[in-house]
Amino acid sequence: MQDKRVIIDSLKKVLSLYNVVHDLKDEYLEVKIEKNLSRIKDKIKVSKDGFLELNLQVRANNEYRIYSLNHKISMANIAGSLSDISFICLNCLRVLKSLLNVYFTENISEIEIYGCLEETIETSVIAIAVGKKQPFAYKTDPVVCAISHMIHSLNKWSYRTYEGRKIPYSFLVSLNNVDVDNISKICEFLKDDASALLTDGITSYVEVSDKILYKVASYFDAEQTNDRVPLVPYRFSSFGNVCTGSNLGIVLTVQGDILFIRKKRIIFAKRNGDWHCYDYDAFNEALFKDVPQMHFDASLIKIIYLTCLDVAFARTGGCIAICNKDDVKNVKKCINPNDLHKKFYKGTRKDFNYKRFILEEIVINEAPFYSICRKARQELLGVDGATVILTKGDVVTTGAIMDNKFKNDSDDLHGGARTKIAMKLSEFGVAIKISADGYIECYKNHIHIY
C-alpha cells in the first residue's frame, strides 16, 4: 500500500540523521480495524540494551483503519546520542501523525509531508544544539526560533555565489547572554550582498551576544595531539577552539555545508540538504567496547577520529582498516601485490604503482601512521583505494585495490565499492569507511558497530 510506504519512508528519513542501520520494511506496518479509539497510543524509547523501540499507531481520518508498527532497531554504541534521537523521533512522530491523518483524506501531498518532516528534524537539531529540549515548547523557544531563522538565511547563501565565488560564514552565538534581536539583525544583514565580505568562515567570525562583535580566532596548531585539540575538521581548528562553554559555533563552508560546533566538538552538520550527527564519545565507545582485542589507546582513537573528520570534510572519501599484526598475512592475500607498500628503491618499473611508492616514502618515511602529520594522513586516505595499518601504526598499504569477495554469497551485501572493501577488511580488525557525503561507518566482522 502507498500509505505504508509514506510512513516507512518518513521514519527512515529520521533515522538517517544518525546513519542507523535498520531493516524497516513496509510489511512491518500492520493495518487493523480498531473501533475503540481510546486504545490508540504511540511511543518511541531507547531501551537499556541499546535498542530503539518504535511503537507507532496512526488513525486514518473518518475511518477505523489503524496503522500499527512495533519494531526494535539496534542502536548499539551511540549511547551519547540516545536521548537526542528519542527527542528528535518523538517530535517527528507528533508531526508525522497529524500530517498522515490529513494525508489519508487526500488534502496534503507526500512532498508536503516530507517538507514538514525535514523542518521538524532541523528545528529539533537546533534545539539540541542550544540545549532547549522542552517537550512541546521547543518550536516556540525564542533562541531556537532565532537560530532557525539564521540557518534559513545561511541556506540561501549555500546555493548562491558572490562575484563568482562561494561565500563562507562563521558565527559564535553566546547562549548565556544572547539577545535574539541581535540574531535578527544578523539575518537582515545576510540579505545584503555586503555581508559576503563579513568573515572567511575559518578564523574570522562574528560573535553574537548582547552585542555584535567582529573577531579573529587566535591561531591553533591542529597538529597537536593533546586533550585540548578541538574535535572538528582540520581547517576549523582555530575557530573550534573558541567554541567553549555555552558558545555555539555556526559555520557555512564554501561547499555549502552548515556546521554546529559546541564545547570544541562538531555535533551536527547539514550536508547535501540532510543533517548528520557526529558523536566522538560513541565512536570512542564503539572501538573500545566492541573490539577490546585491538587494545586501542584513547589517544590513538582520537587521532583516527580526527583523520576521519578531515577526510569527510575534504569530500574525498576514504577507507582505512586497523588490523592486528597476527592478521597481516591474511590481509595481504586480499590485496593486489602491486599495491603492497615497499621501499621505492626496492620497487621496479614493472610494479603497477611504482610512482606512488615515491609519495609513500616521502610522506611515511618509516614513521607510524599516528606520527604522520594530520594533513598528510588526510591526503593519504584520500588516495583511491584502501589504507591498511597495524594497531601500532605500521603502514601496510595505501590506495590498495582489494579482493572484496566474501566466503559466503549470503555475506556479500549491497553497497558501493568502499562499503564492500570495508566489510571485507573488517574480518581482520576494524574497518572504517568515510563517505564523501560525510558518513563515518565502522565495521567489525561484517557487523556495523558505529
The architecture in CATH of the region 141-277 reads 3-Layer(aba) Sandwich (3.40)
Plot region of 263 (φ>0 → left; ψ -120 to 50 → alpha; else → beta):
left
CATH number belonging to domain 292-448: 3.40.1700.10
Residue type, 234: Y
Higher pLDDT, 47 or 354: 47
Average pLDDT over residues 131-136: 68
Plot region of 201 (φ>0 → left; ψ -120 to 50 → alpha; else → beta):
left
- Domain residue extents for the chain: 2-130, 141-277, 292-448
Give the per-residue pLDDT at 359: 60
Give the pLDDT band (50/70/90) at residue 5: confident
Give the per-residue pLDDT at 409: 47
Query: Residues 430, 321: contact at Cβ < 8 Å?
Result: yes
Give percent above pLDDT 90 in the chain: 26
> Between the CA of residue 47 and those of 44, 54, 448, what are the distances in Å?
10, 11, 19
- pLDDT at residue 403 is higher than 90: no
Query: Residues 266, 229: contact at Cβ < 8 Å?
Result: no
What the block records as the C-alpha cell of 386 is 584502501
Query: Residues 73, 15: contact at Cβ < 8 Å?
Result: yes
Higher pLDDT, 45 or 80: 45
Residue closest to 93 by CA, chosen among 144, 56, 66, 127: 56
Average pLDDT over residues 280-304: 74
Length of the chain in residues, anyone?
A: 450
**Element at 450 (helix H, strand E):** none
What is the secondary structure of 206-275 as a DSSP string? EEESSSEEEEEPPP--TT--STTS-BS-GGGHHHHTT--TTEEEEEE-TTS-EEEEETTEEEEEEETTEE
- pLDDT at residue 183 is higher than 90: yes
CB neighbour burial string for 248-265, b if at least 16 within 10 angstroms, e if fewer: bbbbbbeebbbbbbbebb
- pLDDT at residue 12 is higher than 70: yes
Give the per-residue pLDDT at 197: 87
Contacts of 167 by beta carbon, 8 Å cutoff, 6+ apart: 157, 160, 161, 196, 201, 252, 254
What is the gyration radius of the CA atoms in the chain, in angstroms?
24
Residue closest to 398 by CA, chosen among 341, 349, 330, 333: 341
The reply to whether 141-277 and 292-448 are identical in fold is yes
User: Is pTM beyond 0.95 here?
Assistant: no
Contacts of 450 by beta carbon, 8 Å cutoff, 6+ apart: 77, 78, 282, 283, 286, 287, 440, 441, 442
Give percent above pLDDT 70 in the chain: 70
Mean pLDDT of the chain: 78
pLDDT tens per residue, range 45-67? 656 555 666 666 666 555 566 66
- Angstrom distance (rounded) from CA 11 to CA 90: 11
Give CB contacts under 8 A, 24+ apart, made by 6-9.
6/100, 6/103, 6/110, 6/113, 7/56, 7/58, 7/67, 7/69, 7/96, 7/100, 9/114
- Angstrom distance (rounded) from CA 377 to CA 383: 10
Give the per-residue pLDDT at 330: 83
- Angstrom distance (rounded) from CA 198 to CA 182: 16
- Angstrom distance (rounded) from CA 68 to CA 55: 7
Residue carrying C-alpha cell 555586503: 194
pLDDT tens per residue, range 112-128? 888 888 888 899 899 98
Q: How many CA atoms lie within 13 A of 328 on its CB side?
A: 13
Beta bridge partners of 172: 207, 249
Give the pLDDT band (50/70/90) at residue 99: confident
- pLDDT at residue 210 is higher than 50: yes
Residue carrying C-alpha cell 516507512: 8
